[in-house]
């Protein structure tokens, strides 16, 4: 695939690294939230904190994708960011549920 020169007024396409970076940053944020919740939170509050962490990741994903200033692929990048955060926090919730049930 050849790169074409953008027309005047068009924005250059977002590089592959920037696309993955803007999505991966949110996954990393979800992982940091998950670790903090596991270490700091009480077991009765796991679900509350996990849902708040997901809300924070959604807001972070919106900010990260808007910061790229690229409309092409915005929905795909936002969906990938939120879906990844959902998986990370969902797996963490499952693990924390097993740990809480074992105690």
Q: What is the share, in percent, of the chain residues with pLDDT greater than 90?
A: 71
pLDDT band at 9 (very low <50, low <70, confident <90, very high): low
Read off the tokens for 86.
């959902």
Taking the domains of the chain in order of start, what are their residue ranges?
26-102
The packing angle between helices 74-102 and 46-67, to 10°, is 160
CB count in 10 Å sphere of residue 38: 16
pLDDT band at 10 (very low <50, low <70, confident <90, very high): low
Least confident window among 3-7, 51-55, 93-97:
3-7
Summarize pLDDT for 30-73 with one digit per residue, the tens: 999 999 999 999 999 999 999 999 999 999 999 999 998 888 88
């Amino acid at each position: 695939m050849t790169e074409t020169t953008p027309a005047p007024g068009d924005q250059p396409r977002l590089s592959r690294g920037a696309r993955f970076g803007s999505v991966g940053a949110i996954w990393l944020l979800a992982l940091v939230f998950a670790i903090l919740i596991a270490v700091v939170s009480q077991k009765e509050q796991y679900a509350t904190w996990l849902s708040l962490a997901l809300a924070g990741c959604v807001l972070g994903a919106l900010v990260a994708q808007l910061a790229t200033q690229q409309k092409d692929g915005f929905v795909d990048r936002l969906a990938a960011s939120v879906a990844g955060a959902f998986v990370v926090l969902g797996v963490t919730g499952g693990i924390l549920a097993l740990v809480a049930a074992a105690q």
